[in-house]
Structures are given as C-alpha cells and as structure tokens.
C-alpha cells in the first residue's frame, strides 16, 4: 500500500494541516476523525488495515485529514461564537483546499465521498449536504446529526447552518436538493448498543425522506456499541456491499 503524508499552511485555518493518503487509485474516501482526534487516528485504530483489500485493489484511495474539534466544539475555554467561526473555517478548508488537493492527486472526475464516525459522522454528513456540487456522497457511522448535542446550549445562525437536523427540513432550494437527491451514496449506519443513538439516526432518516432524499439507513443490533470494533466492521461491510 502506498502511503504519503502531506502538509501545507492552510489559509482557511491559519495553521499547518497534515493529510495522510493511502493507496494509488480509485474513488476518494475523505475521512474525518472522531471527536478530538487527528489525521492518523484511523490508521492507529487499525481501520486502514481493514480497508487494505479495497485500497490495494484500486477500488478506493483514502484521504485522512486532521480535525479542529479541540479548537471548536470540544474546547471548553473558547467562546461559543468563536467555536462556530472555527467550524466554518474548517468547512472552508475542506471545500477550498482539501477538495482541490484530492483533484490534483487523482483526477477532476474522481468521485469524493466523505466518511466519519461519531462526531466525524456529523462533519461528514454536513460537508456533503452543504456542497453536493463538490462531494458525491457520505458514509456516516454512529453519528448524531443535531449539532446542539455538542454546543452546550449555545445557539446562533451558524450552529443552525451546521446542524443538518435543523437546516434540512427548511431547505427548499432546488439547486441543492436536486444535487443531494442525485447521490446514490448517502449511508447512515448505527448500532443499538452502549453509547449509540439509533433513534437519532432514525429521526434524521425521516428528515431526509421528508425531502425526497434517498439514503441507506441501517441500524445494527444491541451488541453493536459506539467503539472501534463496530467501525472496523461497518466500513468494510458498506464498501463491499454498497459500492
């Protein structure tokens, strides 16, 4: 397996941002870390190892980026308004820097699917829904799609516009809706075990259906908990059976 680590100074975030790339060919899987973790988290917890058959066969190429959650929603020392600003800067980093990097290291025609677990699932879903012209779909595992789960009671316009559970019900622009609806790869997976939130996933699924957005919802059993063994099973299953 080819592995490369690249870093550049991000104008959007005003800091160096590394990205790990695994593989040589295939569609792009853009992986966003969980909670306060970093760009090597998926490798550390052996999820990249589980993806080796797909990577080595040229089915996909993985791009794993750093998070800024410790500089936003996970930072209890920041003013909530600044957390929201940092969230939007992260979005701009992905749209204006990471997507062009993927294009330059693959092709202009390469499909890009976001992917994440836990808080990374919310980011993965939000990024796709906000820019379905740049991104082709998402794999979101064990997520909650209501950003107020992380804002400690803070609410403003920017929280609204980064909380899919809130802004999708009011989305009426056909430009966005048509592009979102055209995706064949909106995958929402959750367990029903410890620390999982299956009802939150079902509720968000209903929001999507109400907008005529096709998606793949799969809720696994009570033995499936919010932890790495779950995601090491889920992601290969989704890639094998759905792509």
> pTM here?
0.96
pLDDT tens digit string along 149-175? 999 999 999 999 999 999 999 999 999
Give whole-number Cα distances, 152 to 63, 78, 148, 172, 242, in Å: 31, 12, 7, 29, 36
pLDDT tens digit string along 211-228? 999 999 999 999 999 999
Q: Strands 60-65 and 27-32, how do they pair? A: parallel
Mean pLDDT of 32-46: 94
Are the CB atoms for 148 and 159 separated by under 8 Å? yes
Q: What is the pLDDT of residue 117?
A: 98
Q: What is the pLDDT of residue 36?
A: 79
Q: What is the pLDDT of residue 80?
A: 87
| Boundaries of every domain in the chain | 3-242
Q: Which CATH number fits domain 3-242: 3.40.47.10, 3.40.50.1820, 1.20.950.20, 1.10.10.1150?
A: 3.40.50.1820
Phi, psi dihedrals of residue 203, rounded to the nearest 5°: -65, -40
């Amino acid at each position: 397996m080819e592995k490369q680590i690249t870093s550049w100074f991000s104008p959007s975030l005003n800091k160096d941002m590394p990205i790990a790339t695994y593989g040589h060919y295939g569609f792009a899987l853009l992986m966003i870390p969980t909670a306060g973790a970093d760009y090597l988290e998926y490798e550390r917890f052996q999820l990249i190892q589980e993806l080796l058959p797909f990577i080595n066969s040229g089915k996909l190429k993985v791009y794993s980026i750093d998070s800024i959650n410790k500089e936003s929603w996970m930072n209890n020392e920041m003013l909530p308004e600044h957390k929201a600003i940092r969230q939007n800067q992260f979005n701009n980093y992905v749209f204006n820097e990471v997507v062009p990097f993927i294009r330059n290291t693959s092709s202009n025609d390469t499909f890009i699917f976001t992917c994440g677990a836990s808080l990374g699932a919310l980011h993965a879903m939000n990024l796709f829904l906000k820019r379905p012209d740049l991104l082709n779909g998402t794999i979101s595992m064990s997520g909650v799609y209501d950003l107020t789960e992380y804002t400690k009671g803070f609410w403003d316009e920017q929280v609204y516009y980064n909380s899919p559970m809130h802004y999708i019900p009011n989305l009426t622009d056909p430009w966005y809706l048509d592009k979102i609806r055209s995706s064949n790869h909106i995958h929402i997976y959750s367990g029903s075990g410890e620390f999982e939130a299956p009802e939150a996933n079902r509720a968000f699924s209903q929001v999507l259906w109400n907008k005529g957005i096709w998606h793949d919802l799969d809720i696994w059993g009570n033995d499936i908990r919010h932890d790495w063994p779950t995601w090491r099973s889920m992601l290969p299953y989704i890639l094998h059976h759905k792509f």
